[in-house]
């Protein structure tokens, strides 16, 4: 996949949703300036509009949330980067944005502004193929990531020793209707 394909398939929908205010992403999509420039330079037409949208009060609140939950953000990002596809052009940016999206309270694909969950799964398949393959039971992505952190000694929600025994099984594996 070329970087133009990556931008068209994953980043353009995220940027358009960001412009519309339909994401939980903080200023600059939660990216450092260099990472942000690498992505948005591919979408020159949107760049000016994107840059103006960072100034909203809502985005500043998202930035404050990110600052308050830095440890969680860093752990999520590190997990993703550890499993990054070295051939992808924007895996680090994807790790940052997905980690920011996990701090929202809706389904991850919605908080990122993607049009549907399968697009998020394709994003994982491209940027983080090991994690994609490990999610062989199609657990919701945000829950899957937190379960990975929990399984590696984190202090995140792991309610049962086995998913089959868990009383909230449907919350993780049920359908995700809009």
The tens digit of pLDDT for each residue in 122-166 reads: 999 999 999 999 999 889 999 999 999 988 776 655 544 455 555
Give yes or no for a contact between 169 and 162, defined as CB atoms under 8 angstroms apart. no
Q: Is residue 105 part of a domain?
A: yes
CA atoms within 13 A on the CB side of 110: 8
Cα–Cα distance between 112 and 152 in angstroms, integer?
Answer: 25
Q: Is residue 176 part of a domain?
A: no
Q: Is residue 73 part of a domain?
A: yes
Q: Which domain holds residue 48?
A: 3-139
The model's pTM: 0.84
Q: Is residue 102 part of a domain?
A: yes
Q: Is residue 27 part of a domain?
A: yes
Query: 77-84 long-range CB contacts below 8 Å, 24 or more apart?
Result: 79/131, 79/145, 79/148, 79/149, 79/152, 80/127, 80/128, 80/131, 80/145, 83/128, 83/129, 83/130, 83/131, 84/127, 84/128
Q: Is residue 169 part of a domain?
A: no
The tens digit of pLDDT for each residue in 8-66 reads: 899 999 999 988 888 999 988 899 989 888 888 877 667 767 766 666 777 777 788 87
As for how many domains the chain has, the answer is 1
Q: Is residue 158 part of a domain?
A: no
């Amino acid at each position: 996949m070329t970087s133009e394909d990556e931008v068209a398939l994953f980043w353009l929908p995220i940027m358009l949703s960001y412009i519309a205010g339909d994401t939980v992403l903080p200023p600059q999509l939660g990216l450092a300036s260099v990472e942000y420039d690498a992505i948005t330079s591919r979408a020159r037409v949107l760049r000016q509009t994107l840059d103006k949208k960072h100034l909203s009060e809502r985005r500043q609140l998202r930035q404050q949330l990110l600052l308050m939950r830095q440890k969680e953000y860093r752990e999520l990002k590190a997990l993703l980067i550890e499993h990054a596809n070295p051939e992808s052009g924007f895996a680090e940016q994807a790790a940052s944005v997905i980690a920011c999206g996990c701090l929202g309270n809706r389904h991850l694909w919605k908080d990122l502004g993607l049009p549907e969950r399968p697009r998020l799964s394709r994003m994982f398949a491209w940027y983080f193929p090991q994690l994609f393959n490990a999610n062989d039971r199609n657990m919701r992505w945000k829950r899957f990531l937190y379960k990975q952190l929990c399984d590696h000694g984190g202090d995140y929600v792991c309610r049962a020793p086995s998913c089959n025994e868990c009383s909230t099984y449907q919350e993780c594996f049920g359908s995700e209707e809009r």
